[in-house]
């Protein structure tokens, strides 16, 4: 049987999605999704075995297609710390990107090495999300455990290793660790030496290979015997993968509204920010993807929707029935602490409640708060030279919401677009898999499979003043809490 499909895998915080696409034209053939165990900050951890079990289960649901699968690749949640012993068993549950327990260690790292130096060498400044901070937390809370770690990797690297037996990574995902240099594409072991100077860090980290190259092939194992020999792409971070899935171009702004929120774009030159607001990541090609990340996105609207006891569609209708500014009601949505700004112990703040406040106002203020948190970061990106004269493209679960789409258009004064392929992180991973199979670059593959974007909202009301009011309120709160 002809091997004419590739599998793109999105192993996110919440679930594992497998998307099968035609190797010829990128058409989506089938999908499967399995949930991961729920987790909530400040202690947000998962057993790496759960990711593997979900991946195997999702692939097994698609078993009828296995003979046609030529390759696979994994786009996954970033930053998480996976440590394996010399028998490849996890030494403890993986601390995830949204775990904030390592906030004290992140501050200590910036006392030992100046933020300007972190930014110069890695494009980012340590915060609780970064892997380097989780290494420092582990060193302080489990003395001696790092010495027992035979391999240290990210969540998607772990799945690639389980699939292929190859201990490799690429620049996009690695740039979220806090000890990788995206400007030279090399590890910076002297940064990890601040955590423990006795460890040979390089020997514990994966080998770096180009983002479009194969990591190896699926090894023979009972649970995936029918896939043995299929090419395995090297994998990357979920936002880098989503950028491929949307075929993001220079000038475009990508906004992901999922468990977390991200706002990013593609640049040919890296951006550094010693304040830590911007993460100057590499993308899954030879470019850069400067990014703003918030801890609180769609889960905020989920929380208020449950409070209001309405369905998602009813919540959207409520939010769209209130005017811009929600009749004076404002929400700063730092429900689980926040990453941008770096306030891991913060809580949400709402002001402007009146006896005349309605459910509609509450819903509108919630959506505006989440979006303004991201757009405020976008203003910082522009201050560092990022050009946003292209399209606004949204992805993630929140991208399906009419309220998020329309209010984003109103807040920015620009049309909002989506990729009709959907599940953009899985779609991008499939592009990476196809590039590995066909021997081309990820950008060439993304262009080959490119489909026209769909315009889903245009500005109906001028709400740009709402962002200005949010920035003023949030900045004042941040100053009080820091």
Give residue 292's pLDDT: 95
Mean pLDDT of the chain: 96
Instruction: Set out the domains of the chain in order of their start, with CATH numbers.
Output: 5-239 (3.30.420.40)
pLDDT 10s digits, 205-244 = 999 999 999 999 999 999 999 999 999 999 999 999 999 9
pLDDT tens digits for range 122-178: 999 999 999 999 999 999 999 999 999 999 999 999 999 999 999 999 999 999 999
In the prediction, which pLDDT does 481 show? 83
Q: What is the pTM of this model?
A: 0.94
What is the full DSSP assignment across 156-187? HHHHHHHHH---EE-HHHHTTSSSEETTTTEE
230, 217 Cβ separation under 8 angstroms: yes
Task: For residue 459, say if its preceding peptide bond is cis, omega within 30 degrees of 0.
Answer: no
Strand partners, 73: 8
Residues of the chain with pLDDT under 70: none
Is 238 a catalytic site residue?
Answer: yes
Rg over CA atoms, the chain: 21
Which one of the listed residues 238, 283, 336, 361 is annotated catalytic? 238
Q: What is the pLDDT of residues 173-207, one digit of tens each?
A: 999 999 999 999 999 999 999 999 999 999 999 99
Are residues 274 and 119 in contact, defined by beta-carbon separation less than 8 angstroms? yes
């Amino acid at each position: 049987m002809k091997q004419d499909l590739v599998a793109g895998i999105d192993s996110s915080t919440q679930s594992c999605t497998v998307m099968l696409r035609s190797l010829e034209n990128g058409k989506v053939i089938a999908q499967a999704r399995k949930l991961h165990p729920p987790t909530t900050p400040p202690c947000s951890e998962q057993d790496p075995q759960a990711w593997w079990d979900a991946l195997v289960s999702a692939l097994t649901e698609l078993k009828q297609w296995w003979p046609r699968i030529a390759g696979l690749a994994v786009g996954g949640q970033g930053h998480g710390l996976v440590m394996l012993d010399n028998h490849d068993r996890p030494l403890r549950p993986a601390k995830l990107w949204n775990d904030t327990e390592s906030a004290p260690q992140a501050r200590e790292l910036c006392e030992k090495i100046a933020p300007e130096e972190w930014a110069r060498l890695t494009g980012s400044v340590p915060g609780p999300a970064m892997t380097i901070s989780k290494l420092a937390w582990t060193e302080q809370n489990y003395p001696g455990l790092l010495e027992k770690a035979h391999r240290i990797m990210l969540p998607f690297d772990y799945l690639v290793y389980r699939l292929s037996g190859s201990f490799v990574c690429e620049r996009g995902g690695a740039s979220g660790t806090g000890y990788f240099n995206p400007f030279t594409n090399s590890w910076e072991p002297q940064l990890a030496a601040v955590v423990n100077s006795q460890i040979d860090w390089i020997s514990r980290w994966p080998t770096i290979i180009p983002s479009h190259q194969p990591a190896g092939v699926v090894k023979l194992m009972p649970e995936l015997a029918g896939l043995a020999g299929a090419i395995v792409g090297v994998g990357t971070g979920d936002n880098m993968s989503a950028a491929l899935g949307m075929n993001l171009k220079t000038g475009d702004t990508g906004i992901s509204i999922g468990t977390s929120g991200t706002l990013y774009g593609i640049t040919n030159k890296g951006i550094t920010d010693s304040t830590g607001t911007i993460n100057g990541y590499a993308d899954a090609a030879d470019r850069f993807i400067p990014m703003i990340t918030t801890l609180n996105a769609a889960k905020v609207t989920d929380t208020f929707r449950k409070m209001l006891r309405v369905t998602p569609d009813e919540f959207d209708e409520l939010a769209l029935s209130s005017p811009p500014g929600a009749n004076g009601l404002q929400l700063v949505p730092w429900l689980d602490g926040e990453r941008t700004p770096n306030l891991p112990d913060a809580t949400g703040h709402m002001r402007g409640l009146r006896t005349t406040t309605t459910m509609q106002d509450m819903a509108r203020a919630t959506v505006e708060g989440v979006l303004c948190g991201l757009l405020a970061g976008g203003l910082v990106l522009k201050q560092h030279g990022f050009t946003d004269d292209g399209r606004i493209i949204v992805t993630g679960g929140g991208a399906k919401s009419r309220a998020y789409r329309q209010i984003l258009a109103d807040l920015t004064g620009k049309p909002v677009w989506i990729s009709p392929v959907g599940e953009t992180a899985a779609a991008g991973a499939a592009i990476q898999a196809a590039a590995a199979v066909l021997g081309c670059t990820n950008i060439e593959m993304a262009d080959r499979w490119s489909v026209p974007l769909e315009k889903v909202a245009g500005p109906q009301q001028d709400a740009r003043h709402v962002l200005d009011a949010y920035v003023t309120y949030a900045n004042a709160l941040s100053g009080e809490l820091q």
